[in-house]
């Protein structure tokens, strides 16, 4: 919407030309989403359902009775702010209904707790497929991989299932990583901000992408604005989720956050970015999914001595406090992300 104001009135009032700057839109969008979330959460969380604890989770009793599903509030704020700051007609805007759908699925699961694992997996699959279709349509997709100089063109019969799988895995890995105050929010916000920066500075910049031998995404800056708006909304939430938390994001927050990470990865054109910016998220959450799937469907018992999500293992077996889990996971996450991204961008 703001870009429309520049197009309509920028020639009459010079300062409106700022609204044509993606950097300005991303920065101010971040601040607006953060402040709106910070202000709205304590006003509205009394209307949210209360946490009832989770079976087998370490120290789950500490969260019982706290408002849950804060994601319903900050994702709603994100959607409105994105509509204002992301240029009208940009493809990322068309993914907002799927973010809202992921939030709704999570909210009803938080409220009722009645969905089975298979029902949630099926709903996530529908949302992931719809988002993949919006991003790339039913046409060939171009991807790039480290160690492979030329870009690869995939038919839609291959690229759509690949994109759907990346998004579905991201949703579930992020959801499984929730459970320690501020850990999931901090990991996802930093991953989203890193992907937004890459899409703006590298993949969306024709000169830089050309120098590195990476296919350019002309919509990279649009995705970057969307990423930083969500990062701002999560920062506003983290103010109230800092240990000891006053409110929890619940599935209503973790599912749309995972969806956005998956969509940003698809927008980069490199599916391996899910491993690069989400390595700790995957280790923390997705490894538990693999362990359960191997045991349930193939009768293979692996990693039986390790508790998942991984943050529960460190709290239960090694005696880490919630704050230690948060700080150490973030240090690992930022260090691994920086190292792996540099290697992938240079090894072409």
CA distances from 346 to 147, 153, 193, 342, 343 (A): 9, 21, 21, 6, 5
For residue 53, the SS3 value is coil
Distance CA 286, CA 317 (A): 20
97-133: pLDDT as tens digits: 999 999 999 999 988 766 888 899 999 999 999 999 9
> Does residue 56 have a pLDDT over 50?
no
Distance CA 3, CA 175 (A): 34
Tokens of 43: 């006003």
Distance CA 276, CA 183 (A): 18
The full DSSP string for 295-316 is: HHHH----STTS-SSHHHHHHH
Sign for the pseudo-dihedral over CA of 342, 29, 173, 284: positive
User: Is this model's pTM higher than 0.75 or not?
Assistant: yes
Backbone angles phi, psi at 204, to 5 degrees: -90, 0
Let me know: does 347 contact 146? Beta carbons within 8 Å.
Answer: yes
Counting beta carbons within 10 angstroms of the beta carbon of residue 84, is it exposed (0 to 12), middle (13 to 18) or buried (19 or more)?
A: middle
Distance CA 184, CA 231 (A): 12
pLDDT value of position 284: 79
9-46: pLDDT as tens digits: 555 555 666 667 888 999 999 999 999 999 999 999 99
CA angle 168, 173, 174 (to 5 degrees): 100
281-318: pLDDT as tens digits: 887 777 766 666 666 666 667 666 667 677 777 787 78
Distance CA 70, CA 326 (A): 19
């Amino acid at each position: 919407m703001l870009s429309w104001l520049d197009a309509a009135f920028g020639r009459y009032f010079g300062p409106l030309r700022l609204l044509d700057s993606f950097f300005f839109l991303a920065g101010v969008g971040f601040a607006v989403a953060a402040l709106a979330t910070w202000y709205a959460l304590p006003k509205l969380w009394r209307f949210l359902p209360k946490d009832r604890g989770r079976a087998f989770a370490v120290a789950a009793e500490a969260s019982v009775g706290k408002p849950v599903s804060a994601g319903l509030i900050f994702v709603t704020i994100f959607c409105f702010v994105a509509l204002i700051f992301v240029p009208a007609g940009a493809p990322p805007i068309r993914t907002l209904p799927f973010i809202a759908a992921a939030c709704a699925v999570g909210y009803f699961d938080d409220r009722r707790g009645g969905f089975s694992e298979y029902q949630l997996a099926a709903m996530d699959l529908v949302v992931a497929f719809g988002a993949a279709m919006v991003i790339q349509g039913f046409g060939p997709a171009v991807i790039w991989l480290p160690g492979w100089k030329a870009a690869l063109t995939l038919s839609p019969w291959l690229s759509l299932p690949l994109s759907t799988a990346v998004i579905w895995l991201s949703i579930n890995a992020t959801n499984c990583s929730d459970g320690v105050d501020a850990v999931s929010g901090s990991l996802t916000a930093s991953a989203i901000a890193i992907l937004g920066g890459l899409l703006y500075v590298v993949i969306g910049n024709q000169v830089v992408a050309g120098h590195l031998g990476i296919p350019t995404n002309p919509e990279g800056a649009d995705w970057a604005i969307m990423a930083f708006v969500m990062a701002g909304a999560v920062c506003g939430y983290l103010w109230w989720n800092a240990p000891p938390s006053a409110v929890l994001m619940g599935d209503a927050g973790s599912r749309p956050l995972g969806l956005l990470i998956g969509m940003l990865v698809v927008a980069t054109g490199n599916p391996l970015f899910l491993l690069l910016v989400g390595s700790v998220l995957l280790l923390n959450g997705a490894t538990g999914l693999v362990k359960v799937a191997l045991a349930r469907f193939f009768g293979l018992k692996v990693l039986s001595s390790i508790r998942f999500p991984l943050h529960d293992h460190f709290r239960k077996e090694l005696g880490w406090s919630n704050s230690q889990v948060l700080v150490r996971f973030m240090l690992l996450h930022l260090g691994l992300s920086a190292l792996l991204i540099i290697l992938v961008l240079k090894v072409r």
